[in-house]
Homo-oligomer: A and B are copies of this chain.
């Protein structure tokens, strides 16, 4: 039989209200009473019923996170950063993966709304903004991460994707590459922003992509090493052959490097490679991979703080955008100079 507040109150000869106030950390309880109540709770192994509290307070003290792929190290690091912030504030983390499927994402969002999460953090696989309108109707605050939507004024935490593309491409130019290809990402803000940064950096140096130099892998984040491999094989058939390639993300770059090395070419002497995301183990690859650091754990932490501030603010606030500056991490795969 679960211990109830009234059991504790009866044992100590105080009111249920007093016990409840101790639980909610009210200030009008003496230290002595507080200590007695907490001691008795511990002795009886009392556990507050958070489901009941949720109904009374209208808060579930939980935040939902929906990402396209739990195994992708970027999203795993975001989850870790977010979880760290929530734990400190006594919130729980519900996690779901959409497997890059907009319909599955919608189901998971509906499920989380039905569970009355206090806020949502979403790296969305949607192509339209309709599902966010539905979240807004429920008045549940949400923070987008990683991927933004044109025309949707929403809270966002992520890296500046144009800066990612420009930083990576400028680095390859500085290393002496003159025929720089790009294995681009999907038609999302991340893919489009990085492509734009690549074009901008080339233009700044009086360059432009040669015909066929911008290619797209066949998949997105799942299996992107396979799609990077396949895209690189296409690039290697071009005349003239690229001498540098900026890849949308690290898994794509890993697949691309495999294609280059397996083809008997050298990295970086024949083709320099840079990715984005700076995943674990990038330094331990056949050729350690240069990358752009997106500060994935900071994205999780900042998104968590923003989400909780939205839960706690009583009035509607204007959506905020937190753009983190990417950082260049040079390893052997691009070090030609």
Interface residues, chain A, CB within 8 Å of chain B? 45, 47-52, 54-55, 60, 62, 69-71, 73, 76-77, 79-80, 83, 87, 90, 92-97, 104, 107-108, 110-116, 134, 137-138, 225, 251, 254-255, 257-258, 280-281, 283-288
Contact = CB atoms under 8 A, between A and B. Distances in A.
B87 A80 contact: no
A80 B76 contact: no
A116 B51 contact: yes
Contacts of A255: 284
A122 to B, nearest CB: 15
A222 B173 CA distance: 36
A73 B73 CA distance: 8
Given A70-B80, A87-B107, A284-B285, 18 more contacts: A47-B110, A49-B116, A70-B79, A70-B83, A71-B73, A71-B80, A76-B76, A80-B97, A87-B96, A92-B94, A92-B96, A93-B96, A225-B280, A251-B281, A254-B281, A255-B284, A284-B286, A286-B286
Nearest to A279: B281
A257 B280 contact: no
Contacts of A110: 47
A231 to B, nearest CB: 15
A137 B255 CA distance: 50
A73 B76 CA distance: 9
Contacts of A49: 114, 116
29 contacts: A45-B137, A47-B113, A47-B138, A50-B116, A62-B115, A69-B80, A70-B80, A70-B83, A71-B76, A71-B80, A73-B73, A73-B76, A76-B76, A79-B95, A83-B96, A83-B97, A87-B107, A90-B111, A92-B96, A92-B112, A93-B94, A251-B281, A254-B281, A281-B281, A281-B285, A284-B286, A286-B286, A286-B287, A286-B288
A302 to B, nearest CB: 17
Contacts of A111: 90, 92
